[in-house]
A = this chain, B = another copy of it.
């Protein structure tokens, strides 16, 4: 992307100055989360919650205060978001539209609400972790109720804002307003048919896999898990770092830490951190976490620093974000080509443990299609069923046709019907994911969108690159460069839909994903 900032209008320049300050405060807020999840001592949760509330309201005051409004209105029509700068370029007009959109969303919400929301999710996440550990849904229930309630309040603020409504086509299902937080402009009307079609396609594939008995036999590494020796953490750590380096994750602009739930967090394109976790009896847990988060991190490190503070230095949607992580985790990280390079390296690290297995059995083992209760452990085919269940539940929670207290029963029934597995406990059922405790209602669908986008991008990339050969020759950097050039550098300059269209000359489509699975598992 060409740097057009040299020619910036002075009003726009003041606006960008304000935005940069806000972006730094957002980076600081993220650092508080990072610290809370990685290192914070237990008893600090109370003060951390207050710190988060304080920073959230400080940010909110800046974003929606009169000073910001004064600067903004010199650049755009506050009601419509139309650019009012003379001789504005197409790039500036786009930029201002995104800035205006953020302002509209922020100024709908009262500061007291923002603080309460932030403080609630900080405590709620802590309680959720405890509830999951104790397998005690009732402990978490009041906090879940609060989060659902606050989400509904947020929707009402949005619905009641004339500025917001004049901008958006989100009327219809109230859940649209939450979806929009993560996947801009996505609606239930668009998702419902897409997901229905996907469900049919996936069920067909699953049935074929199961009926043709083409399921790879359990003969790889998983069968070793019941016996010692285990895979020590140090060896797993070193292996993960090696793969991250090969992917092009820049350790001078980030680092990896351990946490109970892997995540990526960014404070600036020059400071993008990831976490992973290890199981001594499951080699793939740590590695796939590192590769998944590494994919997210490459996106954030690939944003252009010169636009820091503006929407052009932000990811365009979580669906696109997930397309990056799942591309690396699945399409690259679970391919034969990948393991033709890395299996020998792994065997050097764990010679005793891998004595009785080989690359092909290892490959088959990590690609075993096997419906189970845990989302993050699911294979590529059944993974999306976990998402469809959650998407359905979220809509019902927001419609108020399902009460939080009835969730465990509803969840377990849905799992039996949809996946054919009844969760062994609430900890492994409704309590398995952090998202709802952290306010992330509307987030889950982006995982499936990520799978869909990733396959569309993969198809387009394959027209320009021999992807398999890049992997086989350990030239992962070429893949990274393609993603940098076609996706990362643009930030929010293009919406998810535009990005898909620019890259694939098509709208969003499940076909490439179904084709990918068909080729991988049935041919």
Contact = CB atoms under 8 A, between A and B. Distances in A.
Interface of A: 20-21, 24-25, 27-28, 31-32, 35, 39-44, 46-48, 50-51, 54-55, 58, 250-255, 257, 267-268, 270-271, 273, 308
A293 B20 CA distance: 36
A100 B362 CA distance: 69
A253 B32 contact: no
A47 B268 contact: yes
A30 to B, nearest CB: 11
Contacts of A42: 252
A50 B43 CA distance: 30
Given A41-B255, A43-B250, A271-B41, A51 B35 contact: no
Closest 5 CB pairs of A and B: A47-B268, A44-B271, A24-B54, A43-B253, A43-B252
Contact of A55 (B28, B48, B257, B273): B28
B27 A270 contact: no
A267 B44 contact: yes
A25 B54 contact: yes
A98 to B, nearest CB: 21
A389 to B, nearest CB: 37
Contacts of A253: 41, 43-44
Contacts of A58: 25, 58
A270 B24 contact: no
Contacts of A254: 41
Given A46-B270, A252-B43, A51 B24 contact: yes
A132 to B, nearest CB: 21
A255 B39 contact: yes
A27 B41 contact: no
18 contacts: A21-B54, A24-B50, A24-B51, A24-B55, A25-B54, A25-B55, A28-B28, A28-B32, A28-B51, A28-B54, A42-B252, A43-B252, A43-B270, A43-B271, A44-B267, A44-B268, A47-B267, A47-B308
Contacts of A46: 270
B32 A51 contact: no
Contacts of A47: 24, 27, 267-268, 270-271, 308
Contacts of A21: 54
A198 to B, nearest CB: 39
B43 A27 contact: no
A44 to B, nearest CB: 4
A115 to B, nearest CB: 10
A55 B51 CA distance: 13
Contact of A32 (B31, B255, B308): B31
Contacts of A24: 47, 50-51, 54-55
Contacts of A257: 39
B41 A251 contact: yes
A249 to B, nearest CB: 11
Nearest to A34: B35
Nearest to A22: B54
Given A25-B58, A27-B47, 9 more contacts: A24-B50, A24-B54, A39-B257, A41-B252, A41-B255, A41-B271, A41-B273, A42-B252, A44-B267
